């Protein structure tokens, strides 16, 4: 279980900002609620790999995160997987660390 990432499920991916020089990627996710919405920033540092896969016809009117999860790899690195709409579209990032709204992510009680 990834502490915090569950809050992003069903959110709308508004911005993906890739910084090749600093090897970071930031995702801005807007999550609608009944009476309001919240905006979150997931920043991934020490990026080693970034993959986007899409077999869903586009363009889309928006991108919904139907699933997001993270796991610690045996190497100690972090793997984050995001499903957009269905298994036919996804983003996968392998990196050294990540923060959500400025707080370090934890996976199964371990800081990432």
Global pTM reads 0.90
Where do the domains of the chain lie?
2-111
d(CA 49, CA 26): 14
pLDDT digit string (tens) for 19-65?
Answer: 999 999 999 999 998 888 999 999 999 999 999 999 999 899 999 99
Q: CA-to-CA distance for 55 and 81, rounded, in angstroms?
A: 16
d(CA 85, CA 52): 13
Q: Cα separation of 69 and 82, whole Å?
A: 7
Count of Cβ atoms closer than 10 Å to residue 112 Cβ: 23
Tens digit of pLDDT for each residue in 53-112?
999 998 999 999 999 999 999 999 999 999 999 999 999 999 999 999 999 987 765 555
């Amino acid at each position: 279980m990834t502490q915090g990432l569950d809050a992003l499920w069903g959110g709308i991916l508004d911005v993906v900002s890739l910084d090749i020089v600093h090897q970071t990627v930031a995702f801005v996710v807007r999550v609608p609620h009944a009476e309001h919405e919240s905006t979150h920033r997931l920043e991934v540092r020490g990026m080693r790999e970034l993959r986007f896969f899409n077999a869903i016809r586009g363009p889309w009117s928006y991108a919904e995160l139907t699933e997001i999860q993270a796991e610690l790899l045996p190497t100690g690195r972090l793997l984050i997987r995001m499903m957009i709409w269905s298994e036919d579209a996804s983003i996968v990032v392998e990196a050294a660390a990540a923060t959500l709204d400025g707080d370090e992510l934890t996976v199964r009680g371990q800081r990432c």
